[in-house]
Amino acid sequence: MSKIIVSANGTKKDAIIKKAAGLFRHKGFAGTSMRELAESIGVEAPSLYNHIGSKIELLQNICFKVANEFMLHLHQTEQESNSTIDKLKHIIQFHIQMMVNEYDEVFVANHEWKQLKDPYLTDFLLQRKAYEKKLIDIVNEGIENNAIKNIHPQIAVLTILSAVRGLEFWQGQKNQMEVMELENNMIDHLLNGLVK
Amino acid sequence: MSKIIVSANGTKKDAIIKKAAGLFRHKGFAGTSMRELAESIGVEAPSLYNHIGSKIELLQNICFKVANEFMLHLHQTEQESNSTIDKLKHIIQFHIQMMVNEYDEVFVANHEWKQLKDPYLTDFLLQRKAYEKKLIDIVNEGIENNAIKNIHPQIAVLTILSAVRGLEFWQGQKNQMEVMELENNMIDHLLNGLVK
DNA sequence: AATAAAAACTAATAAGCGTTAGTTTTGTGT
DNA sequence: ACACAAAACTAACGCTTATTAGTTTTTATT
C-alpha cells in the first residue's frame, strides 16, 4: 500500500486536504509549510505533488466544499414549507452541527478565505453574500408574517451568523449530549433572548 | 522631519504598530512581510528596526493592548452597581464600539493571537479565560436574581462573545447613526431575542 | 516473472523571509 | 557653523519557502 492512508471512498488528494485543514486551522494557511504538511502525513514534500496541484489549491478545495455544503442546506431549508422560526432553528442547528462535525474545514473557510486568489476570492465572497441575502429574506418573511419583531433584518442575520461562526472556542467537547445542550441553548438564546 | 509620520502623542513605534494592525488584518500576520509593512509606511524594511525590536513584538503589542482595554472596561463595569442586564448591555455596547473604533487592532487580537509565542501565548489565553469567567459570573448573578432565564451560563457568554467578536463584516459603515442602530438591535437581539 | 503505472525519493531551483552590519543622510541643540 | 544623535540607507546574511526535474522504489496487472 501507499504511504498516504486513505479512508473509505476517499482519494489520496482527499486525505491530504483533510490533513491540510487541520494544520491550516492550527497554524493558518500562510503559517503552514508544505514540508510540515508532508511530515504530518509521513512523506516528503515533493511527493505531495503527485496528488495535488499546489498549496493554494488545497485552500480552494476546503473553502468551496464548506461554502457549497452550507448553500446546499440553505436551498433545502428554503424549499421545506416550515414556519420562518423553524427555518431559522434549522439553519442555526446546521451551523452548529457543521462546527462540530467538520470543525477544521469550517474554521479554515471562515478564517483563511482571505488568502484565496482571484478569481476564487471573488467567487467565494459572492457566494457568501448570496448566503447572507437568502437569510435576510427569511428574516424579512418572518417580519411580514408577524412572527419576528420589527428588527433590522441585516443586523439580525449578522448577529446570528457571527454567533454561530464564532463557535470555535467550543472545542474538544464533541460529546453528543453536550452538543444538543449547546444547540438548544443557542437557538433559545438567539430566538427568545436572555431576559426572563 | 522623519519619514515615519507620527500622530499627536504618538511615537514612531506607535505609528508602525498602527500600520501593522491594518496589514495584519488584511493579510494575516504570517502573510504580511516586513518589506510590505515598510513600503506601506514609505521606508525600507531595515529602517523599521530603529524603532521596533521584531515582527512578533508588533503582534504582541496589538494583542495585549486590546486585551487590556477590554479587561479594564470589564473591571469598571463590575464595580458600577447597576443591574445585571445593564451590565450586559454596557459590555455588549463596549464590544461594538471597540469593533468600530479600533477595528484593525481588535480583529488582529481576535484572529492572529495564535501566532504569539510563549510566554505571551499562554498569558494571552489566561487573560481571555479570565475575561470569560467574569462574564459567566455576571450571567450567574443574573440567574440568581431572577433577571435572566435558567440558561447554561457558559453557552450564553459564548453566544454573546461570538456574536460581538464576529462583527467583522460590519465594515465601512462608521456612520455614527448606523452604529447606534447596530448597537440597539444587537443588544435587543441578544437580550430579548427575535421572536415577537 | 515481466511489464506498466503509481508513488515515492533526492537534489536543486529561484524567490522571499526576518534580521544584522556598516554607512550615509537628516535633524537638533549649542 | 559645529557636534551629536536620530533615522534613514545599501548590502548582505542564513534560512525557509513552494515547486520542478529526474530517478528509484513500490504496487498492480498480465
Give protein residues whose Cβ lies within 7 A of nucleic acid chain D.
A 1-2, 32-36, 45-46, 49, 54-56; B 2-4, 12, 38, 43-44, 46-47, 50-51
> Looking at chain B, which residue has its C-alpha nearest residue A145?
B196
Domain with CATH 1.10.10.60 in chain A: 1-53
For residue A56, pLDDT beyond 80: yes
Please give the pLDDT value at position A3: 76
Distances (CA, A) of A67 to A90, A109, A110, A124, A137: 17, 8, 10, 8, 19
Task: Please state which CATH number belongs to domain B1-53.
Answer: 1.10.10.60
Put simply, the answer to whether A194 touches B158 (Cβ < 8 Å) is no
Cα separation, A185 vs A181, whole angstroms? 6
Put simply, the answer to whether A163 touches B165 (Cβ < 8 Å) is no
For residue A181, pLDDT beyond 90: no
What is the band of B174 on the pLDDT scale with cuts at 50, 70, 90? low
Give the mean pLDDT of chain B: 90
CB pairs under 8 A between A and B: 144
Bridge partners for A195 per DSSP: B148
Angle between helices A84-101 and A176-192 (to 10 degrees): 140
Cα separation, B58 vs B35, whole angstroms? 14
Domain with CATH 1.10.357.10 in chain B: 56-192
For residue A133, pLDDT beyond 70: yes
Query: What length is written for chain A?
Result: 196
Query: What length is written for chain B?
Result: 196
Please give the pLDDT value at position B169: 62
Put simply, the answer to whether B182 touches A26 (Cβ < 8 Å) is no
Bridge partners for B195 per DSSP: A148
B22 in Cβ contact with B104 (< 8 Å):
yes
A61 in Cβ contact with A17 (< 8 Å):
yes
Mean pLDDT of B168-187: 76
Put simply, the answer to whether A189 touches B30 (Cβ < 8 Å) is no
Mean pLDDT of B32-48: 96
A71 to chain B, any CB pair closer than 8 A? The answer is no
**Percent of chain A clearing pLDDT 70 (strictly above):** 93
For residue B93, pLDDT beyond 90: yes
Cα separation, A123 vs A132, whole angstroms? 14
Please give the pLDDT value at position B112: 95
Distances (CA, A) of A124 to A21, A99, A120: 17, 19, 6
A70 in Cβ contact with A98 (< 8 Å):
yes
Cα separation, B132 vs B158, whole angstroms? 8
Q: Residue B191: list chain A partners with CB under 8 A.
A: 193-195
pLDDT (tens digit per residue) in B48-89: 999 999 999 999 999 999 999 999 999 999 988 789 999 999
Q: Highest-confidence range of B34-43, B155-164, B167-176, by mean pLDDT?
A: B34-43
Specify the CATH number for A56-192; select among 1.10.357.10, 3.40.50.150, 2.40.37.10, 3.90.550.10: 1.10.357.10
Contacts 24+ apart (CB under 8 A), B172-180: B174/B100, B179/B96, B179/B97, B179/B100
pLDDT (tens digit per residue) in B126-165: 999 999 999 999 999 999 999 998 989 988 999 999 999 8
For residue B176, pLDDT beyond 90: no
Which of A30, A66, A184 lies closest to B27 in space, CA to CA?
A: A30
Smallest Cβ–Cβ distance between B28 and the set A115, A156, A164 belongs to A115
Identify, with chain letter, the residue nearest to nucleotide D28 (CA–C1'): A1
